[in-house]
A = this chain, B = another copy of it.
Amino acid sequence: MEVTRKNYKDSLSTVYSAIEEADFLAIDGEFSGISDGPNVSALTNGLDTPEERYTKLKKHSMDFLLFQFGLCTFKYDQTKYITKPFNFYIFPKPFNRTSPDIKFICQSSSIDFLASQGFDFNKVFCHGIPYLNQEEEAQLREQTEERRNQQANGVGTPSFISPSSSKGPAHVPEEHKDFINRVVEKVEALFSNSEKTLDLDPCTGFQRKLIYQTLNWKFPKGLHVETVETEKVSICFIFTFFDTFFGGKLVVGHNMLLDVMHTIHQFYCPLPEDLQDFKEVTMCVFPRLLDTKLMASTQPFKELITNTSLAELEKQLKENPFKSPQVETTERFPSYDTAQEQLHEAGYDAYITGLCFISMANYLGSFLTPPKAYISARSKLIEPFFNKLFLMRIIDIPYLNITGPDLQPKRDHVLYVTFPKEWKTSDLYQLFSAFGNIQVSWVDDTSAFVSLSQTDQVQIAMNTSRYAESYKIQTYAEYIQGKEKEKPGQTAKTWGEDGWVKSNYTSSTTSGFGYPRYAWTADPSVFRSQGTEEALIADGWSHYSYPDSTGSKKMKTDGV
């Protein structure tokens, strides 16, 4: 179903009920470009830390426009899944002369690619649904309220204000803390009883602002705040609860980090500076995520799936030992035929992503005793894949862990080498020719990481480079220390302090190139012998594959 500016209002209830009844949702975005960086290899270094990668994507990808948002809902009905695919066309049409006049970047290669796939740009630009993020919406509402109050002379006019800031906790002055805390307690109580609304006592405009800011920070979703003037002077609040858009459902995507970042950035709030803050915001908007590219790169799928791009994945999951799921598209929705590929229409890609998820989930059921043909989106079997977003081309960190600390692989075998800008990969291979197999990950024109195959070679390399003039070698630890020094005043946050549970996925052995290896073994017979779902998920399906590394200086990022 196509949703544009023309039928948006009328379609909303259909969208809401499709989400509400769904077992899980799949999403996909089409963007006006992928990377604004001067040099793609610098953007996706194979030894980026998750923080570095997040910062790069935030800096170089958020000025593109997410202009088609695909959503496909999946509801299991006895023997098959009922799907409802939606294509939302999105365009930031300015609301009026004073509202923001968004500028966005288009990357020719991306536009050309979409054009070659028959993408309808006219539909985007002529009929795209306009949007505001939370803060812009609040500003607009305030303006509207002001104007309405001026017109009506401020008497008996109901006014609607959304929380005005999602940037951080409000600074509450000492004298108002008690008052604000009491409001928060009342709201929290509201969550545990059956009441839907809450009236507050009259308060001052400043207190009202504090309430907005605090509630918006503490309860970024599920809360609607309205101001109603019941008399000339007294102002009270009504709180109504509404289901958030995705309502805690499992949201599936394929290589979905950029989709998640764009969705939050465009419709919710500007992306936070800090990766940890981003993770918190993500959990508010998408409480449960699953990335099919990560799933397909992980045991037990890793050995069976050679190419994890969406189109190839879909093909492979039609073949033995996998099974195509039974799906049916409700009437009034266009029926997608996977034989006639419509890839890169967001709704279709979301649909395919959902099918891939179902096939892989059901395959996990084959390891159970007795085997199960249908594994639901609520099965504990798939929990190990929750909230881990695939990281493109990082050698030793397969995913961004949204609900816990990220993997910290040992990089004892990695050297940071700086050299004249004329050097090429071949110069580095020559320099390290005595050390056997090496891996080169370019940082910029004059530096690269070089991974040695043996950690004990590091000291030898350091020693031989001592008198070199044209190049310089540092250990990875020295490099990180140098970077930390560059950002004074930043104190390192630890997850423990913020009340996060430490993840179970810690590296237990180090072998070969120093990549983390996990306790879990990939032998399917082990699954069978253990038998229960609980046992299967005990340590997760966490024997991850290592995505392709950035060997070439000119390698391009693709979005699949």
Contacts and interface: CB of A to CB of B under 8 A. Distances in A.
Interface of A: 32-33, 36, 65, 91-94, 97-98, 101-109, 111-112, 114-116, 120-122, 124-126, 554, 556
Contact of A121 (B112, B125, B554): B125
- Give 5 nearest A-B pairs by CB, closest first: A121-B121, A115-B126, A115-B125, A102-B108, A101-B109
Given A120-B122, A121-B125, A107 B101 contact: yes
Contacts of A102: 107-108
A264 B112 CA distance: 24
Nearest to A107: B103
A112 B97 contact: no
12 contacts: A33-B103, A91-B108, A91-B112, A94-B108, A94-B109, A101-B107, A102-B108, A103-B108, A111-B125, A115-B122, A115-B126, A122-B122
A341 B139 CA distance: 38
Given A65-B106, A114-B125, A116-B126, 15 more contacts: A32-B106, A33-B103, A36-B103, A91-B111, A94-B108, A94-B112, A97-B556, A101-B109, A102-B108, A104-B105, A104-B106, A106-B106, A111-B125, A121-B124, A121-B125
B106 A103 contact: yes
A456 B3 CA distance: 65
A33 B32 CA distance: 15
A283 B536 CA distance: 76
Contacts of A93: 108, 112
A131 to B, nearest CB: 11
B101 A125 contact: no
A76 to B, nearest CB: 39
Query: Interface centre among A91, A94, A108, A124, by most B CB within 10 Å?
Result: A108
Contacts of A107: 101-103
Contacts of A556: 97
A126 B113 CA distance: 9
A108 B101 contact: yes
Contacts of A108: 91-94, 101-104
A382 to B, nearest CB: 38
A104 B104 CA distance: 8
Nearest to A116: B126
A111 B102 CA distance: 11
Contact of A122 (B94, B106, B121): B121
A115 B125 CA distance: 6
Contacts of A104: 105-106, 108
A113 to B, nearest CB: 10
Contacts of A125: 111-112, 114-115, 121
A93 B108 CA distance: 6
A554 to B, nearest CB: 8
Contacts of A106: 32, 65, 103-106
A102 B33 CA distance: 11
A112 B97 CA distance: 13
A91 B115 CA distance: 11
A98 B556 CA distance: 10
A43 to B, nearest CB: 13
A503 to B, nearest CB: 38
A101 to B, nearest CB: 5
A88 to B, nearest CB: 17
Contacts of A92: 108
Contacts of A115: 122, 125-126
A104 B98 CA distance: 24
Nearest to A32: B106
A107 B112 CA distance: 19
A112 B96 CA distance: 12
Contacts of A98: 554
A125 B108 CA distance: 9
Contacts of A33: 103
A513 B114 CA distance: 55
A558 to B, nearest CB: 11
Contacts of A94: 108-109, 112
A101 B37 CA distance: 11
A239 B98 CA distance: 56
A267 to B, nearest CB: 15
Nearest to A109: B101
A98 to B, nearest CB: 8
A50 to B, nearest CB: 26
A108 B33 CA distance: 16
Contacts of A111: 91, 125
Contacts of A112: 91, 93-94, 125
